[in-house]
């Protein structure tokens, strides 16, 4: 399982396989090792951490407060299960990154799940898909542009 | 002794008083506003009385409603806690008129000590040292100059009608006096409609040290030693200790300050528990500041060091019992330190941070005392002071107390509302704090030398791991409840 992470406005990625974890930050710092999770208790490389969620993006680990979001790079938006696919939809960058390709133009008709924009972050390319069938009202993403988390890329109506 | 007492307060202090009542076999009545219907005090008390809507001006500060609630429940006495009506002479009188005992000093003593200026005059008359200065407003520049040269610079200009730092100016030398006088007077005029200014000697980097007093209604009055409360933010205490680390190098000071406090208390015919506050300078000169005619927030450190129960004594004294302790019986053992856990953000100027407590795991173990008014799922109301709990530690030495307190802070998990738990660990690790080099400007200077440490990447990895597992379907149980809440509940049931 792979996930993207934003932590205090920096990016990282995490990958687990069985009981092994690999956590890589954008600054190149890598944490690798064996883990075990039991409720709020995490053992990582034999060290014990207590992890508790706070309000919103807040998460506390051993008394330290982090602002963190984790999301599936395949999802359009972080931390949300079902999205409401009605009305005007703003497709936003789920994490800071760089626009690699813009796949649609204003006025195009799109199907639900059709790719709109490709954004690269942490050396992983994510295709942002349309949450609904409709017409592209606006394309704000420009190739090679750097985008911040939450920035509007495309509007579908 | 009483058979039923109403607690006219909320939060941790209401819990503290309810506990004392239960220990003495007295039925307790918690009072609550709309926001506090689900509070811990209501849950722990034998009975609970509604006193009005959430704003304190419509509930906890309403003398008529509080007294009516006491009557309705048949309470013979009211414990006011601290804040709210605790220092309100009118309330003490209204209790008496309703045939209810007010657990605190007589209304007359509250009046004598209630106003800062009246208390200062009383202290001077009683022979307690006060910060030297002019009693009356300055008539003009000539009087200011001669007064300042007698006092010696630096001096402080203060608005007669003042408060909150308005109309206050520090003056370091005569060359600055004239302009400072003009500025202070005009600022005071704008703020209070009264431009009168007086002058005081400036006590530089003072310590705030206060003396706990206890007196019965039969003329017996003793002091229980000091508490040092120099660590403050926005003039509000956040860490308190007993004994003061300053006493180690000034062993005679406790006795001298204790005697001065008793002089003031006697002059006001004081009874029950009270606190006389002083400023102490580097040379161990101390100056009377004010009297708090009630139980203090920080009373647990005195209880830990003396082994006495102040709330129990408040109840006994109010019931007319004799204070059976003599001054010579009072001894101080070891060292106690308390920190106030607030729902506030130390990273943003200690802004209050209300919210719902999502996860709570409270510390315990050797040497730890926790006076808490919260529980998991409790919504910290917007309407009141954001004090959540007081965590105190006792050790044979100050070093040992600090180590225990730090350990307990490390165990403390409180999420959902921003709080100062992690911040206290930084303060306890500070070299100046460890050496006991304290003053009321400690925190201001601490922020200047404070270094932010980067989070260990492994901490990030642990957090990301948990969020990842939670966001995947495995993290949510079939009924859609969060593993977090469930594991928290399980922990409480252990």
Q: Identify whether residues B351 and B249 lie together within a single domain.
A: yes
Domain boundary among B201, B216, B246: B201
What pairs with residue B156 in β-bridges?
B170, B200
Residues of A in contact with B466 (CB under 8 A): 37, 40, 42, 51, 53, 59
* Span A119-128, average pLDDT: 74
Q: Identify whether residues B366 and B421 lie together within a single domain.
A: yes
* Span A34-62, average pLDDT: 92
Q: Does residue B393 lie within any of the structural domains? A: yes
B469 and A49 in contact by Cβ < 8 A?
Answer: no
Q: What is the pLDDT of residue B242?
A: 98
Q: What is the pLDDT of residue B483?
A: 53
- Measured between alpha carbons, how far is A94 from A103 in angstroms, rounded to an integer? 17
Of B99, B103, B47, the residue nearest B73 (C-alpha): B47
Q: How many domains does chain B have?
A: 4
Q: What is the pLDDT of residue A83?
A: 45
Is A75 in CB contact (< 8 Å) with chain B? no
Report which secondary-structure segment, H or E, holds B193. Answer: none
CA-to-CA separations, B78 to A141, B63, B130, in angstroms, rounded: 67, 11, 34
Q: Identify whether residues B188 and B52 lie together within a single domain.
A: no
Q: Identify whether residues B267 and B389 lie together within a single domain.
A: yes
Q: Identify whether residues B282 and B362 lie together within a single domain.
A: yes
Q: Does residue B34 lie within any of the structural domains? A: yes
* Span A59-84, average pLDDT: 72
Give the chain B residue whose CA is nearest to the CA of A64. B422
- Cα A135–Cα A141–Cα A144 angle in degrees, nearest 5: 145
- Measured between alpha carbons, how far is B99 from B71 in angstroms, rounded to an integer? 9
Q: What is the pLDDT of residue B250?
A: 96
Domains of chain A: 2-71 (3.30.700.30), 89-156 (2.40.50.100)
* Mean of all residue pLDDT scores within chain A: 85
CA distance A74 to chain B (A): 13
Q: Identify whether residues B157 and B224 lie together within a single domain.
A: no
Q: What is the pLDDT of residue A9?
A: 76
Q: What is the pLDDT of residue B493?
A: 52
Buried b (16+ CB within 10 A) or exposed e, B421-447: bbbbbbbbeeeebeebbbbbebbeebe
Q: Residue B187's domain is classified under what CATH number?
A: 3.30.1490.20
Q: Does residue B128 lie within any of the structural domains? A: no
Q: Identify whether residues B271 and B336 lie together within a single domain.
A: yes
Q: Residue B356's domain is classified under what CATH number?
A: 3.30.470.20
Q: Does residue B119 lie within any of the structural domains? A: no
- Measured between alpha carbons, how far is A22 from A14 in angstroms, rounded to an integer? 6
Residues of chain B with pLDDT under 70: 162-165, 473-494
Domain boundary among B155, B179, B201: B201
Digit-coded pLDDT (tens) for B27-36: 999 999 999 9
CA distance A126 to chain B (A): 18
B458 and A60 in contact by Cβ < 8 A?
Answer: no
Residue found by looking up tokens 């680990």 in the block: A61
Is B457 in CB contact (< 8 Å) with chain A? yes
Q: What is the pLDDT of residue B388?
A: 97
Q: How confident is the model at residue A79 (pLDDT cuts 50, 70, 90)?
A: very low
Q: Where are the beta strands (DSSP E) in B322-405?
A: 335-342, 344-345, 351-352, 355-356, 359-361, 368-372, 379-380, 387-395
Digit-coded pLDDT (tens) for A8-39: 878 999 999 999 999 999 999 999 999 999 98
A81 pLDDT more than 50:
no
Q: Does residue B430 lie within any of the structural domains? A: yes
Sign of the CA dihedral with B283 first, then B131, B310, and B409 last:
negative
Q: Does residue B422 lie within any of the structural domains? A: yes
Q: Does residue B225 lie within any of the structural domains? A: yes
B359 and A64 in contact by Cβ < 8 A?
Answer: no
Report yes or no: B201 and B213 within 8 Å, Cβ to Cβ.
no
Q: Identify whether residues B177 and B315 lie together within a single domain.
A: no
Report yes or no: A130 and A66 within 8 Å, Cβ to Cβ.
no
- Measured between alpha carbons, how far is B314 from B323 in angstroms, rounded to an integer? 10
A39 and B483 in contact by Cβ < 8 A?
Answer: yes
| Complex prediction ipTM | 0.76
Q: What is the pLDDT of residue B398?
A: 98
Of B233, B294, B340, B398, the catalytic one is: B294
Q: Identify whether residues B342 and B486 lie together within a single domain.
A: no
Task: Show the domain range for B343.
Answer: 207-449
Q: Identify whether residues B441 and B362 lie together within a single domain.
A: yes
Q: How confident is the model at residue A78 (pLDDT cuts 50, 70, 90)?
A: very low
Q: Identify whether residues B82 and B35 lie together within a single domain.
A: yes
Q: Where are the beta strands (DSSP E) in A72-157?
A: 89-92, 97-102, 109-110, 115-121, 124-129, 134-139, 146-147, 152-156
Q: Identify whether residues B172 and B221 lie together within a single domain.
A: no
What's the pTM? 0.82
Q: Does residue B193 lie within any of the structural domains? A: yes
Is A16 in CB contact (< 8 Å) with chain B? yes
In the residue annotation, B294 being an active-site residue is answered as: yes
Report yes or no: B330 and B258 within 8 Å, Cβ to Cβ.
no
B409 and A63 in contact by Cβ < 8 A?
Answer: yes
DSSP state at residue B138: P
Domain boundary among B56, B78, B103: B103
The alpha-helical segments, DSSP class H, found in B193-340 are 253-267, 299-306, 310-318
């Amino acid at each position: 399982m792979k996930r993207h992470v934003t932590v205090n406005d920096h990016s990282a990625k995490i990958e687990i396989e069985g009981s092994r974890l690999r956590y890589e930050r954008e600054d190149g710092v890598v944490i690798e090792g064996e883990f075990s999770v039991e409720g709020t208790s995490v053992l990582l490389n034999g060290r014990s951490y207590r992890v508790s969620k706070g309000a919103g993006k807040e998460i506390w680990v051993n008394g330290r407060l982090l602002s963190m979001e984790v999301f599936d790079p395949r999802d359009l938006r972080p931390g949300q299960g079902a999205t409401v696919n009605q009305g005007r939809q703003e497709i936003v960058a789920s994490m800071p990154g760089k626009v690699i390709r813009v796949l649609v133009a204003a006025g195009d008709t799109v199907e639900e799940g059709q790719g709109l924009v490709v954004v690269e972050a942490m050396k992983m390319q994510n295709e942002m898909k349309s949450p609904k069938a409709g017409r592209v009202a606006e394309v704000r993403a420009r190739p090679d542009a750097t985008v911040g988390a939450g920035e509007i890329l495309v509007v579908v109506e | 002794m009483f058979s039923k007492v109403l607690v006219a307060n909320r939060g941790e202090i209401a819990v503290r008083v309810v506990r004392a009542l239960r220990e003495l076999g007295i039925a307790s009545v918690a009072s609550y506003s709309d926001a506090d219907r689900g509070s811990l005090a209501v849950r722990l008390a034998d009975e609970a009385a509604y006193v009005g809507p959430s704003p304190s001006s419509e509930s906890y500060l309403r003398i008529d409603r509080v007294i009516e609630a006491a009557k309705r429940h048949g309470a013979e006495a009211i414990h006011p806690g601290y804040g709210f009506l605790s220092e309100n002479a009118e309330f003490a009188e209204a209790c008496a008129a309703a045939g209810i005992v007010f657990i605190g000093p007589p209304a007359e003593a509250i009046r004598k000590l209630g106003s800062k200026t009246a208390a200062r005059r009383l202290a001077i008359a009683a022979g307690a040292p006060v910060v030297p200065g002019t009693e009356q407003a300055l008539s003009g520049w000539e009087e200011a100059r001669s007064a300042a040269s007698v006092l010696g610079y630096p001096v402080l200009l203060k608005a007669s009608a003042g408060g909150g730092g308005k109309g206050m100016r520090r003056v370091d030398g005569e060359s600055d006096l004239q302009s400072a006088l003009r500025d202070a007077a005009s600022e005071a005029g704008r703020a209070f409609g009264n431009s009168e200014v007086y002058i005081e000697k400036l006590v530089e980097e003072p310590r705030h040290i206060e003396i706990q007093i206890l007196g019965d209604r039969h003329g017996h009055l003793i002091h229980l030693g000091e508490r040092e409360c120099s660590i403050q933010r926005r003039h509000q205490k956040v860490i308190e200790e007993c004994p003061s680390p300053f006493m180690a190098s000034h062993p005679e000071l406790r006795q001298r300050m204790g005697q001065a406090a008793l002089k003031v208390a006697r002059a006001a015919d004081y009874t029950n528990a009270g606190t006389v506050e002083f400023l102490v300078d580097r040379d161990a000169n101390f100056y009377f500041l004010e009297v708090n005619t009630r139980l203090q927030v920080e009373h647990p450190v005195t209880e830990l060091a003396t082994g006495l129960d102040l709330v129990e004594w408040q109840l006994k004294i109010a019931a007319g019992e004799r204070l059976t302790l003599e001054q010579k019986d009072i001894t101080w053992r070891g060292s106690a330190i308390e920190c106030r856990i607030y729902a506030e953000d130390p990273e943003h100027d200690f802004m209050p941070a209300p919210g719902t407590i999502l996860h709570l795991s409270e510390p315990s173990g050797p040497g730890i005392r926790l006076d808490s008014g919260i529980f998991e799922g409790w919504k910290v109301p917007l309407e009141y002071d954001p004090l959540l709990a007081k965590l105190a530690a006792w050790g044979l030495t100050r070093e040992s107390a600090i180590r225990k307190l730090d350990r307990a802070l490390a165990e403390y998990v409180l999420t959902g509302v921003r709080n100062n738990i992690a911040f206290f660990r930084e303060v306890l690790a500070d070299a100046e704090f460890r050496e006991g080099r304290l003053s009321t400007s400690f925190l201001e200077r601490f922020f200047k030398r404070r270094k932010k440490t980067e989070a260990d990447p492994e901490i990030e990895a642990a957090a990301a791991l948990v969020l990842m597992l939670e966001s995947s379907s495995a993290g949510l149980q079939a009924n859609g409840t969060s593993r977090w809440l469930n594991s928290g509940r399980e922990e409480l049931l252990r």
